[in-house]
Chains A and B, each alone.
Chain A
């Protein structure tokens, strides 16, 4: 079956711009989580959506937002981009909401802010 698909794979943006990243989870998975990965901070949790509701949010500024659609696809948006937002953004999906399922990660979107 198809894995988690993230688009685009690579993105270059200028400071002050905004960006939208997309994630298509595995069919049947209702939970989608987003993580930011940087060399300095490692893998950090951004937010998680389950059945179109944001259930958890990490310690990121309000410039980072997301949403989930009825087909479980998710998008995350970063407004007013800063150089420090350059990172690999990873999406992960899982079937349920109890934490008792493994996550399947996508290959990520590499965002570079110049």
Chain B
């Protein structure tokens, strides 16, 4: 399984960009990289996923390193509602199996 590491916590000011890093050095060439976020007492919420090239959606951007051993989730303008635990979750061995990292607690301050 892919070994996934993330910082335990990060802080940001509101309206500023946030870059959340993730290392997944053992990912295979065909596994997608997913990101989810979770609020207390809720299930994880899908944020974004990609394979090789950078991806954008209305919530965030995903920058994937050329060797795919790391990725960065980018929140362009953090808001108080973005405070959550963010999980990097590479796929494993094809199909639908995710290996979740330990998550990064994002704190957003005014």
Q: Which residues of A are at the interface with B, using a C-beta cutoff of 8 A?
A: 4, 31, 33, 35, 42-45, 48, 50, 55-56, 58, 90, 92, 94, 97-100, 102-108
Contacts and interface: CB of A to CB of B under 8 A. Distances in A.
Contact of B96 (A4, A97, A104): A97
Interface in B87-110: 87, 89, 91-103
Contacts of B46: 102-105
Interface residues of B, number: 29
Contact of A90 (B31, B32, B43, B91): B43
Contacts, number: 72
A58 B32 CA distance: 18
Interface string B25-51: 000001110101000011111101101
B98 A106 contact: no
Chain A interface helix/strand/loop/mixed? strand
A99 B43 contact: no
Give me the 3 closest cross-chain CB pairs, A-B, nearest first.
A105-B43, A43-B100, A102-B46
Interface of B: 30-32, 34, 36, 41-46, 48-49, 51, 87, 89, 91-103
B95 to A, nearest CB: 5
Contact of B97 (A4, A42, A56, A90): A56
Given A90-B43, A90-B44, A42 B100 contact: yes
A48 B43 contact: no
B99 to A, nearest CB: 7
A99 B102 contact: no
A55 B102 contact: no
Contacts of B99: 45
